[in-house]
Amino acid sequence: MIWETVRLALLALRRNKLRSALTMLGIVIGVAAVIAMVTVGQGSSRSVAASVESLGSNVLTVRPGGRSFGPPSVGGAQATRPFTLRDADALVGLSVLAQVSPTVSSMQTVVAGAANVSTSITGATSAYLDVNGWTVASGRGFDTSEDRASAAVCIIGETVRRTLFGMADPVGQQLRIGKVSCEVIGLLQAKGAGAFGQDQDDLVLMPIRTVQRRLLGSDSISSISVALTPGVSSQRGAREIEALLRDRRRIAEGAPNDFNVSDRAQIAEVLTGINSVLTGMLSSVAAVSLLVGGIGIMNIMLVSVTERTREIGIRLAIGAEGRQVLTQFLVEAVVLSLVGGIIGVIVGLGLAFGASLYMAIPFAPQTYVVLLAFAFSALIGVMFGFFPARKAARLDPIEALRHE
């Protein structure tokens, strides 16, 4: 008998294709939205985690200025004393540091033949590539003799290469940066977008003295990145750097630093924080979608029972027991919810996959989300299939038959 009831339910669903499709649509949308959003959220989370890793976790950055975050104090920028290469040299003496990479940055227009591009010129030393996790795709990096001399050489990023030279090999080509002509000696391996979405490959590296003397005419440097000796904690590294620099800059005991040492783990924390806020937001939107989907299911189930009151009356009159009517409606709800849920899972994963490809983030399906969304929609489907069905099964057949 139960199989007959199941068959009755399937027949009823088949007979009312439009109604069945609409009911399922609600479930499909709810489930698909949740799965797509959470999957994409997880993917971007992983993507952020990966870019944080690419920053290098054992790297500290020293910058002049007292505060690392928040608005600068009035006149503060003027008052800070910049670092010079002598500060960087002093840091090299610290045993806790494996590498010291002073940099100075400037926006300049770079010209090659008829093409030109405005990009960030970074004055760097041979330590720069290692500390910042770059590799050379073609040509070579700076050698140590170029760290001290203001050689007219440069290394370019992939974006600059594409703009100025197309797909041609840039090594050996000449560039003009400001008044300086220089030879391209290397091309950096592309890194892609950074943690904040900036194009990391849009840069030109030159020996730091070349930038200081020939482009800026100043001996200050913007920042010093240091790689810690393996096994040294970033706290200890920061402590020793601070001690040395406070001494060099003659900062009185108890006075605040006029520079700051930032740990990239802090940046990672900020990024992870932002990302978890985003994921939370996406999840709330997804939860609302699921709720809306659920209300859709509820609506259509209620409408379906109301619309079918007469049918229920007929069934009761010709001898159906209340239990049989209830079972039939319940089976209909279960079948719709399951089929809708399965389609929703497929659609949701498909959307997430497409979005992952488009946004270049990892595709990260979460089993628990799939199960949760599926279970929730099934529950709603069955619940809101059940209560109207129970109402239907308890109808007075005379009343039900009179129903228009």
Partner 1 sequence: MTSAASDRLPPLIELVDVCRVYGSGEAEVRALDHADLVIRRGEFVAIMGPSGSGKSTAMNTIGLLDRPTSGRYLFNGVEVQDLDRDQRALLRRHFLGFVFQGFNLLPRTSALENVELPLIYKGMARAERIERARAALAKVGLEGREDHDPSQLSGGQQQRVAIARALAGDPMVILADEPTGNLDSHRSHEIMKLLQQLNREDGITIVMVTHEDDIAAYARRLILFADGRIRSDAPVPERASA
Strand ranges inside 4-114, DSSP E: 59-64, 83-84, 97-112
* 321 is a site residue for partner 1 (CB under 8 A): yes
285, β-bridge pairs: none
* 317 is a site residue for partner 1 (CB under 8 A): yes
* 66 is a site residue for partner 1 (CB under 8 A): no
The SS3 assignment for 193 reads: strand
Cα–Cα distance measured from residue 400 to residue 394, given in angstroms and rounded to the nearest whole number: 10
The SS3 assignment for 43 reads: helix
- Residue 65 neighbours by CB distance under 10 Å: 17
Q: How far is the CB of 333 from partner 1 (least distance, A)?
A: 19
- Among positions 245-264, residues that touch partner 1 (CB under 8 A) are none
* 2 is a site residue for partner 1 (CB under 8 A): no
Q: How far is the CB of 277 from partner 1 (least distance, A)?
A: 51
* 101 is a site residue for partner 1 (CB under 8 A): no
Residues 6+ apart with CB under 8 A from 148: 209
> Given the complex with partner 1, which of 375 and 398 has the nearer CB atom?
398
Q: Per-residue x/- marks for partner 1, 9-28, CB under 8 A?
A: --x---xx------------
Q: How far is the CB of 24 from partner 1 (least distance, A)?
A: 18
* 167 is a site residue for partner 1 (CB under 8 A): no
* 211 is a site residue for partner 1 (CB under 8 A): no
> Given the complex with partner 1, which of 199 and 311 has the nearer CB atom?
311
> Given the complex with partner 1, which of 6 and 232 has the nearer CB atom?
6
CA dihedral 29→31→34→37, nearest 10 degrees, is -70
Cα–Cα distance measured from residue 53 to residue 194, given in angstroms and rounded to the nearest whole number: 11
Listed ranges 86-94, 178-186, 194-202, 314-322: which one lies at the site for partner 1 (CB under 8 A): 314-322
Helices (H), 149-207: 158-165
> Given the complex with partner 1, which of 274 and 398 has the nearer CB atom?
398
* 324 is a site residue for partner 1 (CB under 8 A): yes
Tokens of 213: 């003397």
Q: How far is the CB of 325 from partner 1 (least distance, A)?
A: 10
> Given the complex with partner 1, which of 202 and 311 has the nearer CB atom?
311
> Given the complex with partner 1, which of 15 and 179 has the nearer CB atom?
15
Based on its alpha-carbon atoms, the radius of gyration of the chain, rounded to whole angstroms, reads 33
Q: How many residues does the chain have?
A: 404
> Given the complex with partner 1, which of 94 and 320 has the nearer CB atom?
320
**Contacting partner 1 (CB under 8 A), which of 250, 252, 319, 358?**
319
Question: Which of 190, 208, 88, 187 lies closest to 144, judged by CA?
Answer: 208
* 318 is a site residue for partner 1 (CB under 8 A): yes
> Given the complex with partner 1, which of 246 and 403 has the nearer CB atom?
403
Contact (CB, 8 A) for 222 and 63 = yes
Size of the site for partner 1 (CB under 8 A): 23
> Given the complex with partner 1, which of 4 and 53 has the nearer CB atom?
4
- Residue 108 neighbours by CB distance under 10 Å: 20
Q: Is 201 left (phi over 0), alpha (psi -120 to 50) or beta?
A: alpha
Listed ranges 43-51, 143-151, 309-317, 352-360: which one lies at the site for partner 1 (CB under 8 A): 309-317
Strand-pair category, 203-207 with 259-263: unpaired
Q: How far is the CB of 274 from partner 1 (least distance, A)?
A: 54
Residues 6+ apart with CB under 8 A from 354: none
Contact (CB, 8 A) for 113 and 217 = no
Binding site for partner 1 (CB under 8 A): 1, 4, 8, 11, 15-16, 310-311, 313-324, 397-398, 401
